[in-house]
Structures are given as C-alpha cells and as structure tokens.
Amino acid sequence: MSIHDAEFRRPILYLDTQYRAHLYPDTTTTRSLFKQSAANYYMLIANRSSNAVVGYSFAKSDASEGPKAQPVWSFQLPITGTPQILNLMVTFKRANEHVHSQGRVLGDRNVLYKYLNPNLVSIVWESIDSQEKPLITLYLLDAYSYFNEKMRRNEISSIELYEGFEQVNATAFSSIGRDLLALPIVEQASFIFPTGIGLMTDTETQKGITNKHILISLPTGGLLELPRAFLDPRRPIKPTQEHAEEGLIPYVPELPIPSEALINYNKTIFGVRGIQTGPTSLESTSLVFAYGLDIFYARITPSKTFDILKDDFDFLLIAAVLIALITFSYLAKALAARKSLNAAWK
C-alpha cells in the first residue's frame, strides 16, 4: 500500500474468502490510515478457472463489518475453445511512479502525446493452442518477452500507446467521458534476444526524469541492464535527420548484450525468483534487489550521476570563490552607499 505510518512502514492489504480486508501489521495507526483513504483503493482478481477478471472497491464498506471489497466491474477474457492456460499475469502501473513528460518531441518539432491512462491494466496469459504450440495473448484493459516457436528464438515485443498530436484532456483522464471511438495510436516492434530470459522489470526513479532501463535476468547468472531506447518501437529502418534529432537508434533486429551492461559484473545470480526496483531521494539513482537462490543488491544510475557531485570535486575552491564573491558584494554595497551619500551633500 502507498500509505505509511510515522516509522515509514507500509502495511500489506489482503483479502480472505469472504472478501473482507485485513492489514498487516494490524495496528490502530494502520487501520486509521486505511479508513481515511479506503475509497481510493481498488483490487483486481483474475480467476484462471473461469477466465474472468473482477475489479473490487472498498468505497462502500459497511462500518459495522469493517472494510470489505465490493465488485464494481467485471470482464470475461475472450479465451475460445479449451486451451490449457499455463500462466496468467496481471500488471498495474506503480502507485508512486511518476511520468515526467506528457509528450515526446519529434524531429520535426511536433509533440506526440502519450496515452496516460492511470487505470490501464495489462493481462498476459500463456497457453497451449489446438496444435500443441505455446500461445501468448496480451490484453490492455480501460514489452513482453516470449519464445517464437516458428523461428525457434526468444523475442521481445515492445508496445507504446499515444493519443496523437492533440490531447483530449491535458489535466485529467476520464474513462467514462472519453470518446471510445478515439482509440490510442499503437506503436509496436519486435526484437530478437540472443539468449534465454528469466525475469524482466524496469527501473523506477522519484520524478520519472531519468531514462528507463530494463533489467533482465539471464540463464548464465547475469543481470542485464538494457536501455529502454533499444526497445523503442519507433526505431526507424531508414533513419532521417529528424530521427537523428529525436535521438532514435536505427532499427537492428537483434538486441546486444554488452558485458559492461551486466550490473553484477563477475558475480553470478542463479534461480532468480523476483527483481524489485525502487526510487531514492536522488533522481539519478534507482535501487535494484534480486532474490532467489542468491541475493543481490545494487544502486544503478540509468542517466549517469547528473545530480551527484564527483568524488574529486574541489570543495575548497568553490568555498573560497563563494566567500570572495560575498565579500566583494558587501564591499560594493558599502562603496555604492558612500557614493550616494557624497552625491547627496553636493
């Protein structure tokens, strides 16, 4: 949960079989904080057996029964036939993640506005089709990796959504009052990844100014930090001057794995079960924690240390210059006051 107590502890919210909400740790402070903001919390449950996705709200909880999840919407996944679902994954936007820029400046100085829907939920399921081949389906409600069975290789598909060159509403997003015919512009591209893929996640910073990097666990025990620019679906096949001004990299089907991009260097991390990222008080720095058979923690700087002074920074010189400037400013102020006084007596 995004709320925290005086000791900056964030409670965990979970539901029982009767859809009643429970907090851990269950204290007077956490109950009070959740009661104040219960109307702002929603929960989504995906049922693999019924292929249904149901959204719940805590806004209409009964005071006598305590906080209880009430269904507010439902969606039936369009799974036809009887495919065997191997894995089902639901991903939300991080609650505390910020988007620094609403648009993307193109080479011709036009602005392509992003599709910023805070309620967007991505649902991905892996199944077996009628020909006994793996099938991956992605649904976006309100970049994924997969194994291409036909080409016998791992691929990464990247998708970006844009509103266009004009924004419908620059201040707020409404799923109810929005024109359903004005669908977002979809940019998509696929890339070949030369090795296997374990888990994937992206970096997170406090204000969202720093460039996004993708973290990928490799079967060789490495943890790869891949710049998001390599997965940009707008990478041109034939770059022009406008593409160069925008900073787009020419499209190459295969993604590189440079050795200097392995953030664990000569240390190996096997059996990774999860990769967690988090922001710090410095915008340039993101925290990475990988766990499994091994535990790995590091701080990375996707856009370099643009807000951190170097280790060899000359503090004495800067302090001396500042003291000299302050002294000269007071001296100039005194001289100007004396000159004004002499001019008044004449």
Cβ neighbourhood burial of 2 (10 Å; 0-12, 13-18, 19+): exposed
Q: Are 233 and 124 in contact (CB under 8 A)?
A: no
N residues, the chain: 346
Question: 271 or 182: which carries more pLDDT confidence?
Answer: 271
pLDDT level of residue 288 (50, 70, 90 thresholds): very high
Burial 285-315 (b: 16+ CB within 10 A, else e): bbbbebebeeebeeebbbbeeeeeeeeeeee
**Mean per-residue pLDDT, 153-161:** 85
Q: Are 128 and 149 in contact (CB under 8 A)?
A: no
Q: What is the pLDDT of residues 30-63, one digit of tens each?
A: 778 777 777 777 788 877 777 788 888 887 766 5
Three-state DSSP state, 324: helix
Does the N-terminal peptide bond of residue 118 adopt cis geometry, omega within 30 degrees of 0?
Answer: no
Q: What is the pLDDT of residues 262-287, one digit of tens each?
A: 998 888 888 888 899 988 888 889 99
For position 143, what pLDDT does the model report? 44
Instruction: Report the distance separating Cα 197 and Cα 146, nearest Å.
Output: 9
Q: Are 134 and 148 in contact (CB under 8 A)?
A: no
Cα 252 to Cα 129, 161, 208, distances in angstroms: 31, 22, 27
Q: In the 8-state DSSP scheme, what is residue 37?
A: S
DSSP class per residue in 210-267? SPPEEEEE-TTS-EEEEEGGGG-TT--SS--HHHHHHTPPPP-SBPP--GGGBTTTT-
**Residue 1 in this model has a pLDDT that exceeds 70:** no
